Amino acid sequence: MKELSLGGLTRRLVHFAVSLFILLCVTFVIGRVMPTDPVGAIVGELAEPAAYEAMRARLGLDLPLYQQFFIYLKGLLHGDLGTAILTGNPVARDLTQAFPATLELATLAIIISTVVGVPLGLVAALFRDSFIDKFARVFALIGHSIPVFWFGIVGLVVFYAWLSLVGGPGRVDVFYEGIIEPTTGLMLVDSLLEGEPEIFWNALSHIILPAAILAYMAMAYITRMTRSFTLEQLNQDYVIAARAKGVGPARTVISHVLPNIAVQLITVLAISYGNLLEGAVITEIVFSWPGIGQYMTNALMIGDMNAILASTIIIGFIFMFLNFAADIAYALLDPRTREVAR
């Protein structure tokens, strides 16, 4: 098997770098033209004009827009994302503390959605127009149609308030907060590393509901796409030949169809993971989850542009990186795309 050519990899890296730079430009310009007043948020509405202008000059907001952008870009290259008005800390430190919570939530959600969505899509395609196929289609339609915040509120009322089957808002109960040293920032992992099974199960009870709701949104898309890919393959000659040789339906799907749609599924899963990281914003608000989504929302409320810009750039970077990684995996696993990339 030939490896991905250096030219194809370089071309993809250039596209990635250009897309990232465009994201930086667009995000920065939008942040500067938004009807917010970061200076007023710092000095207060009753500040003297001289104090207001001094703070404006200190933040560099009195400079032309292009100079502001290059100053911001220079700081970004040195890891300086500015200081957050909300906390008074460097934005980079705040994001380091907030992002692991979002990563943990989105990762558990993509695991659940993959484990359930891919098999459901395969079975639905294998038994086309059966009850399970109709169920899968309705299941996907509901997942695409109903807003995630509605699912979150209903889930809290039913499973937390009424049935007491899961933990409430937050990552752990108040009693356990501050006990675990944030080694990785992932509560489930850190509680196991420190040998605290009680905190682990408590953290799991808190994360399972928001993760399941997020997973349902991704599961709907994964199920639908898996079903579509499988139906396309079931009409191919190699599947008909396998059936003619007496290969059972289940073995045909697992041994023949699944390897052939794996490349397409990689792209679907990468997009879904990126959407989960992005879509976690609303879920974090509903569940008071201390992740990057809640951090960004709080920053928006007071016009904290440094925090907003940095959060947007981080989410955009991860989304583009996942697509870049999926593109590379696609080229490595599919010889046809590898030849086109040359």
Domain ranges of the chain: 6-35+81-97+105-146+216-341
Model pLDDT, residue 5: 61
- Mean pLDDT per 10-residue run, the chain (342 residues)? 59 81 84 72 74 79 83 83 82 89 92 93 88 88 84 90 89 87 89 92 94 90 91 82 77 81 86 80 86 85 81 84 78 58 47
Pick the CATH number of 6-35+81-97+105-146+216-341 from 1.10.3720, 1.10.10, 3.10.20, 3.30.1490: 1.10.3720
pLDDT score, position 320? 83
Taking the C-alpha atoms of residue 191 and residue 3, their distance in angstroms, rounded to an integer, is: 41
The per-residue pLDDT for 18 is 86
What is the spatial distance between Cα 44 and Cα 83, in angstroms, rounded to a whole number?
17
Q: What is the pLDDT of residue 204?
A: 95
Q: For residue 2, which amino acid is it? A: K
Reference 229, options 271, 258, 269, 272; nearest CA is 258
Quick one: pLDDT at residue 189? 92
Contact 316, 23 (CB under 8 A): yes
CA distance 138 to 115: 19
Tally Cβ neighbours within 10 Å of residue 196: 16
Q: How far is CA 281 from CA 144, 210, 221, in A?
A: 17, 11, 19
Query: How many angstroms separate the first and last alpha carbons of the chain?
Result: 15
What pLDDT does 340 receive? Answer: 44
Q: Which amino acid is at 161?
A: A
| pTM, two decimal places | 0.83
Amino acid at 338: R
Rounded Cα–Cα distance for residues 267 and 276 (Å)? 14
One-letter identity of residue 205: S
The pLDDT value recorded for residue 341 is 45
pLDDT of residue 1: 39
Identify the DSSP state of 35. S
Range 30-37, long-range pairs (CB < 8 A, 24+ positions): 31/305, 31/308, 31/309, 31/312, 32/65, 32/68, 32/305, 34/303, 34/305, 36/303, 36/305, 37/303
Q: Return d(Cα 324, Cα 228) in angstroms, integer.
A: 23
